[in-house]
Structure 1
Amino acid sequence: MALSQSIQKDEILPSIHCSTFTNTDIIAYCSDPPSTALNAIPLGRYGNSVIPLSDQEVVKYGPGVYIEEYMNLQRAYQLLDQSIVRVPQPYRFFQNGDFGYIVMEYMKGTVIGEITDDSHIEKVGKALEHLSSFRNPKPGPLGGGVSRGLLWSEGTTTEYSLYGSAEKLEHWFNRRIKHNNLSLSFQECDFVLCHLDIAPRNIVWLHGDSLCLVDWASAGYYPRIFEWCLLDIFRGRDGPFQDLVKKTLEPLTEWESANRQLIEKAWANSIRYHFPPTPPCA
């Protein structure tokens, strides 16, 4: 039975597993979803959409949905302790033209617009501490591919993949520092699991007040300071949230304190200036 035939207009789907539906069914459903589906998930609109397929699954789709996010979700779901931080189970990724589609577990809960409660902030801090306990010898998205998200100027390092190369990561940042006497080296860094988009809109509070992190598009193994810098860069956007979360994190090391401003300077310059693709020499 086609997905469009399983639902009457303005009704949420019944309890049907996504394996019942083909990619074509899902594409057709997303092209004209019922209004109740559009309003069912209280997430902000940032170019992509998330709507229920049933009472068990949702689909995230749009021009900014990529295979790297699906692979990040897969790896995070396998690694993380679900008693500390929940992650939606990913079921399927497919591409149709410029649109990507991720079918994943429906995490029913509440999104709090401004998080200030001490117990909630403490849980966010513990989740970040848990993430940073996972390390990898080389940087990049959890499943490989192109680094994407808020840290990388226009949302992606499409000029070349940074995956597996500290040298490429250094090259990307040092080009954007734009100072002859200043540069970054990541050779002595630990690359830890980072989410890189910690914000109230990406936290679903589930039954029992457990925490679920969504939107894993930016995640990867990077220096821990990257998580801190993103909180710095978007400080005040969600009230005191960013400052409160930073207080729960371990103090910065000497290297992190010395290089924090350079990382944020590179980010700012990547917004202000255009950098033609010039990958480092192999």
Structure 2
Amino acid sequence: MGFNQPQIDPSSREEHRDFPLDGIDLEKVPNKQLVDLYSTGPVLYSCGDSRLVRLSHTLVLKGGDSVHPCEAENMKFAATYTQIRVPKVHRVFSSRLDGDYHDTWFIVMDYVLGCTVEDNWKVLSETTRDEVTSQVAGMVEQMQSISLNHMRPGPIGGGAPFQGPWFSDTCGNGSGPFDTLQEMEDWLNHKLDTRLRLWRNASGDTPRFEFKDTRMVFTHQDIAPRNLILDPSGRLWLIDWAYAGVYPEGFEQSAIPKQQVRDDTFSKLVLSKLSCSYPKEDLQLEMVYG
């Protein structure tokens, strides 16, 4: 298997089997037992330094070096201030895995039964594709209706590197955290200047980042078919809030095409249904991406 290719244990999706914590009250399960299950339980999804393990028919455990408590805060914020369907967070804690010299963060959350849009995209009818992308556009519009200029930029709760296509470096560690918009602006302009020096064919007229009068909104930054689940009732859920937080308007729209690996049909449909486009941000992201 190639580097950073997702690993999945098919048995983790078998609904007729037993899982480790079926019938057990989570409140009575110590963190140590959860950490043991992180290493031994059926893997729903594992890629890079993040792993999602099935605990029971209703619960999953996410952990890894790229997991931070702000991901749970992002999910709680979305559940509180939007109508977007988000897995409920039940517990957030840190612990040290055997052989490690640092703590790892873990999040216990609801398991969402269903299939990802990515797994079903090729077989979805045009009508269903239209319905799904309309729902996704509605999610974006909901998030962007919340003005958050009173909050500090970045992940809700802070304390973690800024992640996503605007911030990821070659090692995938993001950067920051930044305490102010000015700090974020300075860092992005430094990254832009660096790219312009390195890329001889780069456009020198790429606009610089200026956030003084920018409207800040809640942003997911990883809206892709792999992070959208259609449950048995046909309802759409948005998962994986690791990149989310408070960012300038336009960051979401410009990030959506960058998160599509195999097929850009999804992103084109979503973007066509949004009320605003951001060509300046598109050009800036093209320059600083990666």
User: Does TM-score exceed 0.5, indicating one fold?
Assistant: yes
- SS of residue paired to 1:207: coil
Identity %: 27
- SS of residue paired to 1:77: helix
1:161 match: 177
Q: Which of 146-155 and 121-130 deviates more? A: 146-155
Q: Which of 70-79 and 18-27 deviates more? A: 70-79
Query: Among 142, 146, 155, which residue is 1:134 paired with?
Result: 146
Distance in 2 of aligned mates of 1:150 and 1:16:
39
Alpha-carbon offset, residue 201 of structure 1: 1.0
- SS of residue paired to 1:135: coil
2:61 match: 59
1:78-93 → structure 2 map (5 Å cutoff): 78-81=80-83, 85-93=84-92
Query: Among 252, 257, 270, which residue is 2:279 paired with?
Result: 257
- SS of residue paired to 1:29: helix
Distance in 2 of aligned mates of 1:258 and 1:239:
20
Q: Does 1:172 align with 2:187?
A: yes
Distance in 2 of aligned mates of 1:52 and 1:110:
15
1:188 match: 213
Distance in 2 of aligned mates of 1:70 and 1:236:
26
TM-score of the pair, normalised by structure 1:
0.79
Question: Structure 1 residues 234, 201: CA separation in 2 closer, same or farther (over 3 Å shift)?
Answer: closer
- Give the counterpart letter for 1:28 in structure 2: D
In structure 1, the gaps of 5 or more residues are 1-9, 272-282
Distance in 1 of aligned mates of 2:117 and 2:37:
29
Any conservation in 1 of the 2:59–2:109 contact (CA below 8 Å)? yes
Alpha-carbon offset, residue 222 of structure 1: 0.9
Runs of 4+ in 1 over 4 A off after TM superposition: 179-182
1:216 match: 241
Distance in 2 of aligned mates of 1:166 and 1:91:
32
Distance in 2 of aligned mates of 1:129 and 1:15:
39
TM-score of the pair, normalised by structure 2:
0.77
Question: Structure 1 residues 32, 185: CA separation in 2 closer, same or farther (over 3 Å shift)?
Answer: same
Count of matched residue positions in the alignment of Structure 1 and Structure 2: 245
Query: Among 23, 42, 45, which residue is 2:31 paired with?
Result: 23
Query: Among 96, 99, 111, which residue is 1:106 paired with?
Result: 111
Any conservation in 2 of the 1:110–1:205 contact (CA below 8 Å)? yes
- Give the counterpart letter for 1:209 in structure 2: G
Q: Which of 147-156 and 194-203 deviates more? A: 147-156
Distance in 2 of aligned mates of 1:259 and 1:130:
20
- SS of residue paired to 2:47: coil
Distance in 2 of aligned mates of 1:119 and 1:46:
32
Alpha-carbon offset, residue 24 of structure 1: 0.3
Question: Structure 1 residues 80, 25: CA separation in 2 closer, same or farther (over 3 Å shift)?
Answer: same
RMSD: 2.2
Alpha-carbon offset, residue 184 of structure 1: 1.3
Alpha-carbon offset, residue 73 of structure 1: 1.5
- SS of residue paired to 1:208: coil
Any conservation in 2 of the 1:18–1:57 contact (CA below 8 Å)? no
